[in-house]
Amino acid sequence: MIQFENVSRSFLVGDQKVAALRDINLSIAAGDYVSIMGPSGSGKSTLLNLIGLLDRPTSGTYRLDGGDVTALNDEQQARVRSQKIGFVFQSFHLVPRLTAAMNIELPLILAGIPPAERKRRVAELLENYGLNDRADHRPDQLSGGQRQRVAIARATSMRPAVLLADEPTGNLDQTTGREVIKLLEALTEQHVALILVTHDPAIGGRAKRQLQMVDGQIISQT
Amino acid sequence: MRFIDLLDFASTSLRGSRSRTLLMILAMSIGVAAVVVLTALGEGARRYVVNQFSSLGTNLVLVFPGRTETAGINPGMLLGQIPRELSLDDAEALLKSPAVKRIAPLTIGTSEISRAALNREVVVLGSTSELLTVRHMSLGQGQFLPAGDIHSSASVCVLGNKIKHELFGNESGIGAWVRLGDRRFRVIGVMARQGESMGFNTDEIVIVPVSSAHLLFNTSGLFRILVEAKSRDALEPAKRAAEKILMERHNNERDVTVVTQDAVLKTFDRILRALTLAVGGIAAISLAVAGVLIMNVMLIAVSQRVKEIGLLKALGAPAAEIRKLFFAEAILLSGIGSVAGLILGEIGVLAIGKLYPSLPVVAPWWAVLAALLTSLVTGVLFSVWPARRAARLDPVTALAGR
Ligand SMILES: Nc1ncnc2c1ncn2[C@@H]1O[C@H](COP(=O)(O)OP(=O)(O)OP(=O)(O)O)[C@@H](O)[C@H]1O
Ligand SMILES: [Mg+2]
């Protein structure tokens, strides 16, 4: 489903070129469970941003479901993000003034889904993630684990094919982190491809495929 | 994104930062209220003048001695001549024109009026019986000046309402004698209370036959002649006829000024309308100031909400949608601001109406519409830049909060 061919990404810092990714070749199928590990600055987030169409490669091609998505314009990429990709962030990124339910509803609103359908899906997600009694709470009234559950519910509300998680347990304690990982892993059983960046070998080790990155390159795959 | 949801989302962000929202609404509403109140005042002044003019009489042509609108210097002036005065015969001659319905000659002066030990200074108006109809005056008691020969100097007078009260208190006063200067006059009528009109208080005058006034003041000229045309269409013919008749009578010299009341009214109307426009325009500048404020606050909002914008992009909102969100906020702000301003302005107009009941203050519909449009347009216009800035943010850097 996801295919990277000789993808590179470099940044200009001052007049210096910093290569964040070098010649990445990678393919990920539907329902794959992939963890990405590596030292700080090795290019993990950059890779995730490219997969999520938040960033464009400097060179190389990226095919998603067979189509070259690097050729799409910003608006078309936005539509692909809306339909196929879900994000979970280390710092949750919930909208502070919206309730848990409204945060979950946000991608559906942006996609222009009718209110009745939205209400149905949000209710289902609140139920699935054990957030029923927290529906009307704002993020600052929720615990870290609850916030990340809201974020996962939001990321899955459009039923994406790919879920990208950049250190989703980074701001959580170990037990809560485990619970969150279990929720994410459950999604792979529904044919969602899960790509997880982590520093924690215990978490990364659970993935069926494990990528090791150093200096913008994938040095090992299992 | 559906339109309703767009407004809904925009309103959540407005509610999210109350003081900022209230401040902007306040700025907008003050601007709109200023436009409404100031134009209402201007329009009120205009209507006031128009009303006053029409209360003076309808289809009026005014004749003044002397020529006020000639360009250059009148040869007579160089020779030290005073312009020929308007005589009673001049006034009567105007009735020859078929376009003229009635005339009322006017002469004016001040004199002392006394009755027994009471006396005061009054304005004495000399005229004829026609004055009552021509000037739309109304009589309280008794009779007005007797009709008949314009040259007869009967010693009768009609008192203004306040004068009568000062001299006679609650007595009717009809039939009593009063002294004007060194002549005695019999009171035959009292005017109804009318109050001020065009800066001239009819309650404080005494009206006598025009010839009696000439004797009283030892003059023979007229201050002006009021000419009532047969109809509105007869106004211009009456004006031309008056000019022609008087020119013939004055050795073919154009030494009088003849204007229709309409012409005077139109001039006032134009001046006051321009004034209303000008004050409205000045008030509208405050709307532009409000617009700049909105822009500033929006720019701050964009930088405060960088992460949220990054998130919206990650969730699949295209740039156009982000722009629309900020536009929706601006439209909501200026919309609420203008409605609040309209209410504020109308309250102000009502208050002014209560304070000055004689001033017909009403905000003209075009000013209200212009104020609303200006506030909406400034709101949107000044949010173009912030909205574009938000839409252009790079999602990765925005999410990182940089
Ligand atoms: N916007 C940018 N401008 C310049 N350089 C950048 C930019 N983003 C990333 N880089 C550089 O690219 C390289 C890879 O960064 P990236 O954020 O992908 O690392 P990472 O593996 O996610 O690190 P961490 O584990 O600390 O999150 C780094 O050297 C970083 O300095
Ligand atoms: Mg990173």
- B345-361 pLDDT tens trace: 999 999 998 988 888 88
Alpha carbon of A199 to ligand 1 centroid (Å): 15
- Do B291 and B28 meet the contact criterion of CB atoms below 8 Å apart? no
The pLDDT, as a whole number, for residue B72 is 47
How far apart (Å, rounded) are the C-alpha atoms in residues B336 and B29? 8
pTM value is: 0.73
User: Which residues of chain B lie closer than 8 angstroms to A154, CB-CB?
Assistant: 315
Residues A63, A65, A71, A75: is their CA dihedral positive or negative? Answer: negative
Q: Supply the DSSP string of A141-195, one letter for each residue.
A: GS-HHHHHHHHHHHHHTT--SEEEEESTTTTS-HHHHHHHHHHHHHHHTTT-EEE
Q: What stretches of chain A show up as alpha helix (H) in DSSP?
A: 44-51, 74-84, 100-110, 115-128, 144-156, 174-188, 201-204
Distance (Å) of CA B156 to CA B115, B175, B216: 14, 9, 12
Chains A and B form CB pairs within 8 A to the count of: 69
Does residue B74 sit in helix, strand or coil?
Answer: coil
Residues with CB under 5 A from ligand 2 (ion): A 45
Select the residue from A54, A150, A154, A156 to test the B interface by mutation, using most B Cβ atoms within 10 A: A54
Residue among A13, A36, A42 whose CB has most ligand 1 atoms within 8 A, to mutate: A42
In chain B, the percentage of residues whose pLDDT exceeds 90 is 39
- Per-residue pLDDT tens digits for A45-94: 999 999 999 999 999 999 999 899 999 999 999 999 999 999 999 999 99
Structure-model confidence comparison of residues A146 and B276, the more confident one = A146
The pLDDT, as a whole number, for residue B375 is 84
- Per-residue pLDDT tens digits for B43-53: 888 888 887 77
- The alpha-carbon gap from A74 to the nearest alpha carbon of chain B, in Å, equals 7
Q: Which residue has the tokens 């009292």?
A: B190
Residue B140 phi/psi, 5-degree rounding, is: -85, -60
Q: Has residue B76 got a pLDDT over 60?
A: no
- Do A185 and A23 meet the contact criterion of CB atoms below 8 Å apart? no
Alpha carbon of A46 to ligand 1 centroid (Å): 6
The pLDDT, as a whole number, for residue B196 is 64
Residue B289's pLDDT band (cuts 50, 70, 90): confident
**Among partner residues B12, B317, B396, which is closest to A110 by beta-carbon distance?**
B317
Q: Residue A217, class by beta-carbon neighbours within 10 Å (0-12 exposed, 13-18 middle, 19+ buried)?
A: middle
- Per-residue pLDDT tens digits for B150-206: 898 899 999 999 999 999 988 888 999 999 988 999 999 999 887 666 556 778 899
Select the residue from A76, A102, A109, A138 to test the B interface by mutation, using most B Cβ atoms within 10 A: A109
If residue B200 lies in a helix (H) or strand (E), which one and from where to where? Answer: strand B200-201
If residue B31 lies in a helix (H) or strand (E), which one and from where to where? Answer: helix B18-55
- Do A129 and A152 meet the contact criterion of CB atoms below 8 Å apart? yes
Q: Which residue has the tokens 């925005």?
A: B398
**Closest B-chain CA to A55:** B396
Q: Where are the domains of chain B?
A: 3-52+266-399, 85-254
Does residue B272 sit in helix, strand or coil?
Answer: helix
Question: H helices then E strands: how many in chain A?
Answer: 7, 10
Q: Name the residue at shortest CA distance from atom 16 of ligand 1.
A: A43
In chain B, the percentage of residues whose pLDDT exceeds 70 is 95
- Do B257 and B67 meet the contact criterion of CB atoms below 8 Å apart? yes
Checking ipTM against 0.90, whether it exceeds it is yes
- Which tokens hold the place of B69? 């609108």
| Inter-chain touch A54–B317, beta carbons under 8 Å | no
- Cβ of A12 less than 6 Å from ligand 1: no
| Inter-chain touch A110–B312, beta carbons under 8 Å | yes
Q: Has residue B82 got a pLDDT over 70?
A: no
| Inter-chain touch B395–A82, beta carbons under 8 Å | no
Distance (Å) of CA A39 to CA A33, A44, A198, A214, B189: 20, 9, 10, 7, 112
How far apart (Å, rounded) are the C-alpha atoms in residues B304 and B98? 81
The bound ligand whose nearest atom lies closest to the alpha carbon of A39 is: 1
Residue B281's pLDDT band (cuts 50, 70, 90): confident
CATH architecture of the domain with residue range A2-221 = 3-Layer(aba) Sandwich (3.40)
Beta-carbon contacts of B295 under 8 Å, excluding residues fewer than 6 positions away, are B382, B383, B385, B386
Q: Name the residue at shortest CA distance from atom 12 of ligand 1.
A: A20
Of the ranges A144-153, B124-133, B164-173, B357-366, which one carries the lowest mean pLDDT score? B357-366
Q: For the residues A1-18, what does the mean pLDDT come to?
A: 93
How far apart (Å, rounded) are the C-alpha atoms in residues B196 and A58? 85
Q: Name the nearest CA neighbour of B223 among B238, B205, B244.
A: B205
Sheet holding A209-214, edge to edge: A85-88, A162-166, A193-197, A33-37, A209-214, A217-221
Structure-model confidence comparison of residues B382 and B80, the more confident one = B382
Q: Chain B: which residues have CB within 8 Å of chain A?
A: 1-2, 5, 9, 12-13, 15-16, 307-308, 310-321, 395-396, 399
Does residue A36 sit in helix, strand or coil?
Answer: strand
Q: Name the residue at shortest CA distance from atom 17 of ligand 1.
A: A45
The letter for the amino acid at B4 is I
Q: For the residues B280-302, what does the mean pLDDT come to?
A: 83
- Do B392 and B343 meet the contact criterion of CB atoms below 8 Å apart? no
Q: Has residue B74 got a pLDDT over 80?
A: no
Q: Where are the domains of chain A?
A: 2-221
Does residue B357 sit in helix, strand or coil?
Answer: coil
The pLDDT, as a whole number, for residue B373 is 87
- Which tokens hold the place of A68? 């070259």
- Cβ of A90 less than 6 Å from ligand 1: no
Q: Has residue B78 got a pLDDT over 60?
A: no
Residue A69 sits at the vertex; the CA angle it makes with A65 and A72, to the nearest 5 degrees, is: 140
| Inter-chain touch A93–B311, beta carbons under 8 Å | yes
Residue B127's pLDDT band (cuts 50, 70, 90): very high
Q: Which residue has the tokens 């009609």?
A: B158
Structure-model confidence comparison of residues B353 and B68, the more confident one = B353
How far apart (Å, rounded) are the C-alpha atoms in residues A12 and A163? 29
**Among partner residues B2, B16, B399, which is closest to A112 by beta-carbon distance?**
B2
| Inter-chain touch A98–B12, beta carbons under 8 Å | yes
Q: Name the nearest CA neighbour of A33 among A186, A218, A143.
A: A186
Q: Name the nearest CA neighbour of B279 among B371, B198, B215.
A: B371
Beta-carbon contacts of A171 under 8 Å, excluding residues fewer than 6 positions away, are A90, A91, A92, A144, A148
Residue A213 phi/psi, 5-degree rounding, is: -115, 140
Q: For the residues A155-181, what does the mean pLDDT come to?
A: 94
Q: Name the nearest CA neighbour of B47 among B281, B348, B346, B273.
A: B273
Looking at every residue in chain B, the average pLDDT score rounds to 87
Of the ranges A170-184, A186-200, B264-278, B306-320, which one carries the lowest mean pLDDT score? B264-278
Q: Name the residue at shortest CA distance from atom 29 of ligand 1.
A: A41
Distance (Å) of CA A3 to CA A25, A159, A161: 8, 21, 14
